Structure 1
Amino acid sequence: MPKTIYSFLILFLCFSCNSETVEPAATTTETIYFPPLTGTIWETKSIASLGWKQAAVQPLLDYLELKQSKGFIILVNGRIVMENYFNGHAASTNWYWASAGKTLTSTLTGIAQQEGILNINNKVSQYIGTGWTSETLAQENLITCKNLLTMTSGIEDIANGDDVSPSSLQYKADAAARWAYHNVYVKLQDVIAQASGQTWNTYFNTKLRDKIGMDGAWFQSGNNSVYGSTTRSMARFGLLMYNKGKWENNIILNETYFNEATTTSQNINLSYGYLWWLNGKASYHLPQSQLTIPGSIIPTAPNDMFMALGKNDQKIYVIPSKKMVVIRMGDAADNVNLALSDFDLTLWAKISALYQ
């Protein structure tokens, strides 16, 4: 991880107030809970009240600490069941999302579309002008906003790393013909800024962050636009997505786009939506690989799970069938990795032991 990220973490604003939790009153039919937009109160639910296995808690915590974790949260129906911090981290400490933040860009793209200021089926150059790649005009004009959302731009994905300057965005294949994990998705932030007439940060803060009570901010790390926040703010976003884009009765993201974003988006990598990873599919691709791997990405986890996955094991797992959102922040569990690692397999075996 570049030193710029660690410098950011030192300088980034931390919140000094202590987090508070409160047990909800007993109800016959438990509704989904949303924490207040301000303050630190967040309802909790005990392991015992869920009928989960208390004996499975400590092995999970030991594994998380061993694997360089910093923040960990499990929500069930919006209520905190587990919230733990390790290795000098705290509830008020900010950490980077890495590529888990791609899902924030996906969500803002959907919000912009529902406001009528863009259409994901339109070509990217309609919003940011031509010449944003080094491709021919005909090749460039094949690339739509949806291609950026689905990693099917056809742009060369390895030679130039994360650089998204025009000279580095080179032709590899026609748009929609190839799936390849690439930083070019960040051009959607430019699309949204142009379409809205606002800066990306302003649009993001007013349309998403402030509406669900998140903290945090975007910062630049090399060629990457990276989000940083507390673990609870990551959990707030996970909760929004668990509730299909609604925060209480407020529609932040419409359900039509949400459904598109969290289901297979193309026929090459079945385990990829709109910048979301999808579990339980027949096959998947890994970043920087064209190999089709049979089976589910994380066979130890529920098949209906969809995921925001970032470098060094930043994780948002959303599991509708279990009414769960699971967050993990920290350093790489083992060696530096991209989105997926063996850590996911073992972590989910230990999480599943709680309720199986």
Structure 2
Amino acid sequence: MTKTICKILILLFFISCSDNNTSDTDPNPTQAMYFPPLTGNTWETTSISDLKWNQSAVKPLLDYLELKNSKSFIVLVNGRIVLENYFNGHSTSTNWYWASAGKTLTSTMTGIAQQEGLLNINNKVSQYIGAGWTSETLAKENLITCKHLLTMTSGLDDSTDEVDPASLIYKADAGSRWAYHNIYVKLQDVVAAAGNQTWGTYFNTKLRDKIGMNGTWVQLGVNSVYTSTTRSMARFGLLMLNKGKWENNTILNETYFSEATTTSQNINLGYGYLWWLNGKANYHLPQSQFTFPGSIIPTAPNDMFMALGKNDQKIYVVPSKNMVIIRMGEAADDVNLALSDFDETLWKKISALYQ
């Protein structure tokens, strides 16, 4: 009997050791989510060695980022900074433009306005900004809802980036065609009208100041482009990693967050509400009606959702790894698309950190 008990205790000891070893090699150990203070420069860090990551993979990653015209790069795990690097004269206090990555700010603000009862995304756009905002017939214009703008399915002609009524021409019925278009900026007019205040005031009050971001909206042609520090971009990514909550404060409700970060229509499976979605069966790209098979970035985690902007402005959010990654800078290559093979190569070097 005593021998049997000893054998059981020995077995339990080895099982315990085995479990501990598994935990030690976990590339992303479970840790409470951290949120930096709303003011000041304090931000907790965690080291490569604490995470049991591969230190030898850091230099090739940073060398590649510098080679590819990057200005800044941040990796957060559980809200803590793992890597924070600046290149070519950039610093923690330098503002840079988000380009189309800022579409996700517009998506978020639309959700906030809806949860406050100011609008309903299923209502037609003209209910908020009046009829005649396009050159379509009234019947066709009235088919276009706020949700169609969120999902890039307005049906408007995408051959121009202009958003004045003369340029907004019928191409297909709303909901029947996916096409990347600047028309999403009309949502900023919708939110401003519904809230009876300027877009900038509503944005600052309901989002920027609540999570400690800096930054301003700058008008560049037809686009309203956001500029901020890299850490402010990381704060927004952290908010979205935490499903719209900042600590215990709900900034964006989880229902809308879930809708925004899952497939929003059946044409482009890789698109939510102005968020790009990795790991889907197929996807579309801007200025194309072709369906590409497979994941947008095959080298990246399948559950990742992304804000992608011109000249390779990036917010990558990876829920399975409690990870947020930010890249700001000039275009990585001569081609200035929001998505390029830069993403694939970059993710091979990122994943080398923890694999």
TM-score by length of 1: 0.91
Identical columns (%): 82
Residue matched to 1:125:
126
Which residue pairs with 2:158 in the alignment? 157
1:236 aligns to 2:230 (yes or no): no
Query: What is the CA–CA distance in structure 2 between the aligned matches of 1:280 and 1:79, rounded to whole Å?
Result: 26
Deviations 1:61-80 (A, max 9, x none): 00000000001000000000
Superposed, which structure 2 residues align to 1:1-356 within 5 Å? 30-158=31-159, 160=160, 162-356=161-355
| Unaligned runs of at least 5 residues, structure 2 | 1-28
Quote the offset at 1:339 in angstroms.
1.8
| Cα distance in 2 between the residues matched to 1:292 and 1:180 | 12
User: In the aligned structure 1, how far is the partner of 2:88 from the partner of 2:334?
Assistant: 17
**Residue identity opposite 1:140 in structure 2:** E
Q: Distance in 1 between matches of 2:52 and 2:156?
A: 49
Q: Take 1:352 and 1:110, find their aligned partners in 2: how far apart are those partners?
A: 32
Q: Is the 8 A contact 1:38 1:213 kept in 2?
A: yes
Q: SS of 2:316's equivalent?
A: strand
Q: Secondary structure of the equivalent of 2:298?
A: coil
Q: Which residue of 2 aligns with 1:25?
A: none
Which amino acid is the alignment partner of residue 70 of structure 1? Answer: K
In 2, distance between residues paired with 1:183 and 1:29?
40
Return the alpha-carbon distance in structure 1 between the equivalents of residues 184 and 31 of structure 2: 39
The CA deviation at 1:29 is 6.2
Task: Write out the 4+ residue segments of structure 1 that deviate beyond 2 Å after TM superposition.
Answer: none
Assess if the C-alpha contact under 8 Å between 1:218 and 1:227 holds in 2: yes
- Aligned residue for 2:49, secondary structure, equals helix
One-letter amino acid of the counterpart of residue 53, structure 1: N
- Superposed CA offset, 1:23-70 (max 9, x none): xxxxx9621000000000000000000000000000000000000000
Measure the CA separation in 2 of the matches of 1:323 and 1:130. 44
User: Does the residue aligned with 1:134 lie in a helix, a strand or coil?
Assistant: coil
1:236, distance to aligned residue in structure 2 (A): 0.1
Deviation at 1:87, TM superposition (A): 1.0
Q: In structure 1, what residue type is equivalent to 2:232? A: S
- One-letter amino acid matched to 1:112: A
Secondary structure of the structure 1 residue equivalent to 2:139: helix
Q: 2 CA distance for matches of 1:29 and 1:245?
A: 20
Count of residues paired in the alignment: 327
Alignment root-mean-square deviation, CA:
0.8
Per-residue deviation, 1:338 = 2.4
The answer to whether the 8 Å contact 1:56/1:354 transfers is yes
Give the counterpart letter for 1:198 in structure 2.
Q
Q: Supply the distance in 2 between the matched residues of 1:81 and 1:349 (Cα, whole angstroms).
A: 18
1:118 alignment partner, SS class: coil
Counterpart residue identity of residue 77, structure 1: N
Deviation at 1:88?
1.2
Q: Which residue of 1 aligns with 2:9?
A: none
8 A contact 1:311–1:336 mirrored in 2: no
Matched residue SS, 2:225: strand
Quote the offset at 1:126 in angstroms: 0.3
TM-superposed deviation, 1:284: 0.5
Supply the distance in 2 between the matched residues of 1:295 and 1:346 (Cα, whole angstroms): 17
